[in-house]
Structure 1
Amino acid sequence: MSTHLSKLLAACAFALAAAGVCAPAVSAPAEKHPKAEDVLKAQAKQAKSRSKKAKAGAAAAAATAAAATAAAADPLSPEVAEPDITDTVVTDYACELNNKITIYTNEKDDSHIALRWKKRLHRLERVGTTTGALRFENPHYGLIWIGIPAKGILLDSKLNRQLANECKNAQQATAVVAAAPEDKKS
């Protein structure tokens, strides 16, 4: 029954539209409601303040980006400048996949190291850890060096991947070789 009723209403609507009874609305001057005007004015003010805030935020972001670019381009910035390695202790590390890392440490400054990776020298700053591991970072290049008594690892925090693993200096490598024959005797 409901389908017959809906078909009947649709037919009536079609007939009325064909007869011209349902003529399109004529644009007559609309009555202005005082509360509606107040709401529209308030919305307009909010839109203006949002656009001003957005422009100010965009300007601040542009200024911050410009400052970061200037710092990155500044060769005197400690993160970008090549560190001075005079009067340092040199430690060479042999890593998996024939990767080589050289670390330069200064006895007077234990809060920084210089790390040579892929023919480039980077300055890394010490970061405190709760585990006792040595952790050094350079946020500009995204390099992280983690040293534990058994090995070292070099990470790229920007690409979220390992650059070098199982990095061992001569002392760490001899400790592993000396321990291996003892294991065979047991």
Structure 2
Amino acid sequence: MKSTLFSPLKPQLLAKLLITLCATGLSVSAIAADATKDPISKKTTKAKTTKNAKADSKKSEIDTSEPEPNIDQNVDTEYKCELGNSLVMYAHPEDNQSLAMRWRNRLYKLTRVETSTGAHRFENQKIGLVWINIPSKGMLLDSRRGHQLANECKSTKVASLSVTETQVK
């Protein structure tokens, strides 16, 4: 029995099929090229890329080209933050325009930036660290990546005073 169902559509069907194959020819060849690659080398490339990205992020976090500030004769205030983070601020009694901050075993110099809200804002533009302190808490931000490094930071001096006041009452 001879099939007549597809015979009138053959030229149109072939034309559509040919157009479709031509249009997707590049993606098919790209898929075929990926399939012929060695899967082990693909994994190695991904692993190397990830390791390089991690190394670059660590380099950007710690900039050793900037000299550490001198903290002699400074008053230190330790802050305990959420998630177990901590930092120490060193302020010189005669200089209210800058302070030093110990974060992750490194000292950074931060310079005061005026705000309209009354919050104390100190920043190191070269490294991208921003310390914002309001009476109830402080927070450390990474301005380059746009995320928080430490939040809900409270001075241990204030925390110890509130515990003492609670015990006395």
TM-score when scaled to structure 1?
0.52
| Partner of residue 81 from structure 1, selected from 50, 67, 76 | 67
Q: C-alpha displacement at 1:177, in angstroms?
A: 4.5
- Of the three residues 136, 157, 182, the one matched with 2:143 is 157
Quote the offset at 1:109 in angstroms.
1.0
Residue in 2 that maps onto 1:144: 130
Alpha carbons 1:150, 1:172 under 8 Å: kept: no
1:178 deviation in Å?
A: 6.9
Q: CA deviation at 1:172?
A: 2.9
Q: Distance in 2 between matches of 1:140 and 1:163?
A: 17
Q: Distance in 2 between matches of 1:158 and 1:176?
A: 35
Output aligned runs, 1:39-50, within 5 Å. none
Q: Percent identity?
A: 47
Q: Which residue of 1 aligns with 2:14?
A: none
Matched, 1:101 2:87: yes
In the alignment, which of 152, 158, 164 is matched to residue 172 of structure 1?
158
1:113 is matched with which residue? 99
What is the aligned partner in structure 2 of residue 21 from structure 1?
A: none
Change (3 A) 1:162 1:176: farther
> For the Cα contact (< 8 Å) 2:77–2:157, is it kept in 1?
no
The answer for unaligned runs of 5 or more in structure 1 is: 1-72, 182-186
Unmatched runs of 5 consecutive residues or more in structure 2:
1-62
Highest CA radius of gyration, 1 or 2?
A: 1
Deviations 1:48-67 (A, max 9, x none): xxxxxxxxxxxxxxxxxxxx
Partner of 2:112: 126
Deviations 1:15-43 (A, max 9, x none): xxxxxxxxxxxxxxxxxxxxxxxxxxxxx
- The CA RMSD over aligned residues, in Å, is 2.5
Whole-Å Cα distance in 2 between the matches of residues 179 and 157 of structure 1? 37
Cα displacement (A) at 1:170: 2.1
Matched residues in 1 for 2:135 and 2:106: separation?
A: 25
CA displacement, residues 120-157 of structure 1 (integer Å, 9 cap, x when unaligned): 11000000011111100000110000011111100000
Aligned residue type for 2:96: D
4+ residue runs over 6 A deviation: 178-181
